[in-house]
Structure 1
Amino acid sequence: MRAAPQSPSARPDLSLVATPFAESHDAPRTLTARLLCGIQGWVDRLIASLSSVSTAPVLDVREFDWTTHLRGAWTRVRDEALAMVGDRHETMVWHQGTALPAALATCPETLRLLRRIPALESAAFVVLPGATHRPARRGPTKAIITCDLALAVPRSGDVRMRVHDRIVRWAEGETLMFDDSFVHESWNEASHARIVLRVRVARPLRRPGPWLRQAILHGLRRKNSA
């Protein structure tokens, strides 16, 4: 699925930068939690104002040339994913600039493609089992953009995701770019699993955005490793 491209010089539509938890039934009720969410919303709006790519919930893959390489080799990536995933729901293959040891022997083609992606933050094979609904949630920052390369998508039963006010569906061999800082949720109403290679990259920003982005990502890395 492709969204209309946005000129890099165009002003971002800040109305699309969702207020944290605005659509969630689990909105934080304590004063501290509300304050933190307010700060996150302000930072996300600042990042959006500095973005050199679309700030929409779903982005046009043509803004990211490297997605062509993923689509061109998707069957080889699929074969490596099937050999590695097993019964796990997520298998990390790249984290913080480094290929994971388990992926070195089993995923050479996937790693070759990942090394060509600029500003790569992480990559993992992610499984959405059949008859599953993943509730509404949002990612921690607009400084990251997510790309899904669809590797296995059931043909019977509805497999879809809502990102803000958009409903999107995966198609095998295609890439889907989205901003998970918007509220999003996923459904797999089929009997078989959906498998994607989920790639997260740092959002391209105009100055002084890269400095802000680096500070945010450094903080997230420290939090995740704690």
Structure 2
Amino acid sequence: MNRPSATTRFFMSIVAWAERMNFKYARLGNPPVYDNATFPWAAEIEKAAPAIRAELDRILVRKDELPTFQDISTDVKTISTDRGWKTFFLLGFGLRSEQNIQACPETWKAMQKIPGLTTVMFSIFEPGKHLPAHRGPYNGVLRLHLGLVVPEPRDKLAIRVKDQICHWEEGKVLIFDDAYEHEAWNHTDKTRVVLFVDFVKPLRFPARLVNWLLMHLAIFTPFIKEGLDNHKEWEKKFYAQAEAWRNRPGANG
């Protein structure tokens, strides 16, 4: 096995130090799953769910052309290698996908209510998909799932965060800390879709400043740069195909 380079080891030690600080200076404590009332804007996101669902339905027409998560972010291969987890990114690590945002204006408008937004995407679990237990790479963000397509039976579809098992509900928000061990599964015979959002964890000074610096430095790391390049490549093909389809003979008649 290759030993991490000195630079990587140094960066990892900084992240570990920042994580300890984030835990100590968390403004809202460190529960695995949050009460939605903790974030007053969560109700606004739920109000926007019907408009977001309508935009999702248009995206799902081309579901077979959507990338898997590991097509974009290759480090995800440690937990997912099949075609069962697909994505449609509007924002990744603070960088926008302008064409995808243009396709989902109401979704993007609703997201502006969330302070410290870093990632927004539709997360699509095909039937039978099971993500094994894992934890997020860094505890400086919290995660929100807005249930959009949640098939029955409920007992076959869930996410476990630490020792809490949670069930998605259509039009309802679930907010949790992905730095705790978690796993998710769809053992139904239908597709599940949530809007998947990461936002900066509310912290007190000095952790807030350190977190801000790390989040802004993260986009220069090789695996994030690679993910952004992969997404640009996919986006180019996806919209070129849409243009070709619109321009085919007889398309407008």
Alignment TM-score, normalising by the size of structure 2: 0.71
- Cα distance in 2 between the residues matched to 1:57 and 1:181: 8
- Cα distance in 1 between the residues matched to 2:173 and 2:150: 12
Residues 18 and 210 in structure 2, CA contact (< 8 A), matched pair in contact too: no
Give the alignment partner of residue 141 of structure 2, picking from 129, 141, 144: 144
Give the alignment partner of residue 208 of structure 2, picking from 194, 207, 210: 210
Give the alignment partner of residue 124 of structure 2, picking from 120, 123, 127: 127
- Cα distance in 1 between the residues matched to 2:187 and 2:10: 37
| Higher mean C-alpha displacement, 204-213 vs 34-43 | 34-43
Counterpart residue number, 1:166: 164
- Cα distance in 1 between the residues matched to 2:23 and 2:203: 9
Q: Secondary structure at the match of 1:59?
A: coil
The aligned runs of 1:77-88 (5 Å cut-off) are 77-85=52-60, 86-87=63-64, 88=66
Task: Write the letter of the residue equivalent to 1:69.
Answer: E
- Cα distance in 1 between the residues matched to 2:134 and 2:4: 20
Q: Secondary structure at the match of 1:77?
A: helix
1:128-168 Cα shifts (integer Å, max 9, x gaps): 11111111111111100000000000112611111111111
Larger Rg: 2
Counterpart residue number, 1:225: 225
Counterpart residue number, 1:109: 106
- Cα distance in 1 between the residues matched to 2:101 and 2:117: 17
Residues 18 and 211 in structure 2, CA contact (< 8 A), matched pair in contact too: no
Counterpart residue number, 1:182: 180
Counterpart residue number, 1:62: 37
- Cα distance in 2 between the residues matched to 1:131 and 1:104: 29
- Cα distance in 2 between the residues matched to 1:38 and 1:222: 17
Residues 99 and 111 in structure 1, CA contact (< 8 A), matched pair in contact too: no
Give unpaired runs (5+ residues) of structure 2. 67-85, 227-253
| Higher mean C-alpha displacement, 36-45 vs 212-221 | 36-45
Q: Secondary structure at the match of 2:219?
A: helix
- Cα distance in 2 between the residues matched to 1:210 and 1:43: 10
Alignment root-mean-square deviation, CA: 2.5
Question: Identity of paired residues, percent?
Answer: 28
- Cα distance in 1 between the residues matched to 2:171 and 2:131: 23
| Cα distance change of structure 1 residues 173 and 137 upon mapping to structure 2, 3 Å threshold | same
State the shift of 1:39 in Å. Answer: 6.2
| Cα distance change of structure 1 residues 140 and 219 upon mapping to structure 2, 3 Å threshold | farther
Counterpart residue number, 1:46: 21
Counterpart residue number, 2:71: none
| Higher mean C-alpha displacement, 30-39 vs 153-162 | 30-39
Task: Write the letter of the residue equivalent to 2:181.
Answer: V
Residues 130 and 185 in structure 2, CA contact (< 8 A), matched pair in contact too: yes
State the shift of 1:99 in Å. Answer: 4.0
Count, aligned residues: 199
State the shift of 1:100 in Å. Answer: 1.8
Counterpart residue number, 1:95: 92
| Higher mean C-alpha displacement, 183-192 vs 82-91 | 82-91
| Higher mean C-alpha displacement, 79-88 vs 48-57 | 79-88
State the shift of 1:98 in Å. Answer: 5.2
Alignment TM-score, normalising by the size of structure 1: 0.79
Give unpaired runs (5+ residues) of structure 1. 1-27
Task: Write the letter of the residue equivalent to 1:168.
Answer: C
State the shift of 1:37 in Å. Answer: 6.8
- Cα distance in 2 between the residues matched to 1:35 and 1:187: 35
State the shift of 1:92 in Å. Answer: 0.3
| Higher mean C-alpha displacement, 155-164 vs 139-148 | 155-164
- Cα distance in 2 between the residues matched to 1:48 and 1:65: 22
